[in-house]
Amino acid sequence: MELSEEQQEAVERASRFVAEARYVVALAGAGMSAESGIPTYRGEGGLWTRIGEPDPRAYQNFAADPKGWWERMLDRDRNPQSPERARFGNSMQDAKPNPGHYALVDLERMGKLKWTITQNVDNLHRAAGARCITEIHGNRTLLRCVRCHFRTPRDEFEVDPKDLPPRCPQCGGVIKGDGVMFGEPIPQDSLAMCIEQTNRCDCMLVLGTSGTVYPAAGFPMQAYQQGSRLIEVNVDPTPISSLVDVALRGPSGQYLPLLVTRVRQLLTATAP
């Protein structure tokens, strides 16, 4: 990636802010997944633009008939031609982490990135090696108890199609996919961790997020109000662009590896 002088200066400033920070937190949005071939939800070419937005009462419908929901999901899993699978295709199943995901893992292993908050459900951060992470909208590869928030890998949990819905082995609550449905509250354990991490940060990387979906959209503002540095990496301007300390206008998969390389150099130069 060949940078202009202005872009080089922006990368340098961002790298110094990260290197000097005590507690860096990343907030990742759909733009990072788009670089791995997963369509965004809103906007031109977005999933919901093409097929329509999900039912705003999706969670209420699930709660009213969890058995029926599970029957449809099991049919989708068994039948490649099912309506559910046809709506979404295989883009998420086939997607792989991109250089932006791996760059965040590098920052985590260097000890600079303390936590990642992601709005994405695609599991790509974990597939890249992330360990310190909260998936505020859930993870498509997990199941979750709606009562106690017990989570387990979907492929390790046996579902009996003759005994639906499946029940939590810890509390007996109903098990569902971990992905947060329309109308479903953000799980309290996830929301509490996101708030805690935002409160602790003195530098936030805001990556590929539109800044319009709450509660995640409120975390950069919360960080800004407590005096944290904000570094935005996004192809397009967002509602927080006027507040950030540095804006890297382009894909995270291009900018984050450059930032990681420079941060490593700065840390090496100041090491005792």
Q: Which of 182, 166, 186 is nearest to 174 (CA)?
A: 166
Residue 204: enclosing H or E segment and its boundaries? strand 203-207
Active site residues: 137
Q: How far is CA 225 from CA 118, 201, 204, 219, 228, in A?
A: 21, 12, 12, 10, 7
CA 105 to centroid of chain Cα atoms: 14
Q: How far is it, in rounded angstroms, from Cα 164 to Cα 170?
A: 17
**Residue/partner pairs of 46-53 with CB below 8 Å, 24 or more apart:** 47/88, 51/87, 53/182
